Amino acid sequence: MTDPDAEVHWFKLLNNSKKDRNYIMFAPPPDHNDEDFQTPVWVSSFVEHHDHWDVHTAGPIYAFVGRQYGDTKTGRVEVENAVVAWIEDDSEPPVFDLSITSNGTPTLEQTQAKSPTPGAFIVKTGPDFPETDADGNAYVVGFGKTDGSTKKVAACASRVAKKDQSITVKPVVQLHFFPSDAKPGDFINYKKIVEAGTGHVDFSDHLDATLCYALHKPRDEDRVFAEWTLGYTKEPPV
């Protein structure tokens, strides 16, 4: 089996937009369902003009539980417990039970059951699931990926968990670059941002590639608008 800590994908953003900017990366909502799932910023960084930002991540997809602070439009999410859902083979993803410990910490326990849907793990809650903590913050479930710079799992999508639910999470393994001042965990408007134009990273047509270059550059003489150019390579990052 592949080493779960091995870095498998690298991303290099090149800022040639004529401005110093803060950039974010984020993923599409599971199964492209942005009605039930919120989209948080996965990672972010400030990048000066003519500078670059290197991002990398390991192979596993993680199921996570955590808490939502604020509402589903302008709030943010924090990961508290994460478990590997799969590394390479997503044909029979696991089913997890979500419970809350006596001190209010959300935990995931993998069961013997398997999801009937390839690529989609399941999180279940019971009839006594509390839904919120003592301060009224909602418990959430979702999927995440490791941020190579911290080695910690960061949220890619989240959804508020309710009593007696069976939540199917089918990650879309793609990413987007976009200039924004949002921070990791902050919720963003996925549809609005994608419609504005992003650097869309999709390795599905480049299965042998390990590195994606994303160039952000102006597309008009007034430098009001910018466009993205992406390229993929099998060469290791430098």
CA distances to 24, 65, 121, 162 from 126, rounded to whole Å, are: 36, 15, 17, 9
Q: Which two tokens stand for residue 230?
A: 């992406």
Q: What is the pLDDT at residue 220? A: 64
Please determine, for residue 158, whether its predicted confidence score (pLDDT) is greater than 80. yes
Q: What is the pLDDT of residues 53-110, one digit of tens each?
A: 999 999 899 999 999 999 988 999 999 999 999 877 788 999 999 999 999 999 999 9
Mean pLDDT rounded to a whole number for the chain: 92
Three-state SS annotation for the chain: CCCCCCEEEEEEEEECCCCCEEEEEECCCHHHCCCCCEEECCEEEEECCCCEEEEEEECCEEEEEEEEECCCCCCEEEEEEEEEEECCCCCCCEEEEEEECCCCCEEEEEEEEECCCCCCEEEECCCCCCCECCCCCEEEEEEEEEECCCCEEEEEEEEECCCCCEEEECCCCCEEEEECCCCCCEEECHHHHHHHCCEEECHHHCCCCCEEEEEEEECCCCCCCEEEEEEEECCCCC
**Are 143 and 61 spatial neighbours (Cβ–Cβ below 8 Å)?**
yes
Mean pLDDT of the region 182-207: 94
The whole model's pTM is what? 0.93
pLDDT of residue 204: 87
Greater confidence (218 vs 181) lies with: 181
- Per-domain residue ranges for the chain? 7-233
pLDDT score of 230: 96
Asked if the model's pLDDT at residue 222 lies above 60, the reply is: no
Whether 238 has a pLDDT exceeding 90, the answer reads: no
| One-letter amino acid for residue 22 of the chain | N
- What is the model's pLDDT at position 236? 66
pLDDT at 224 over 60: no
pLDDT at 1: 42
User: Hey, what are 98's tokens?
Assistant: 């979500």
Segment 11-31 mean pLDDT = 95
Is the predicted pLDDT of residue 122 greater than 60, yes or no?
yes
| Mean pLDDT in residue range 111-140 | 96
At 3, the pLDDT band (50, 70, 90 cuts) reads low
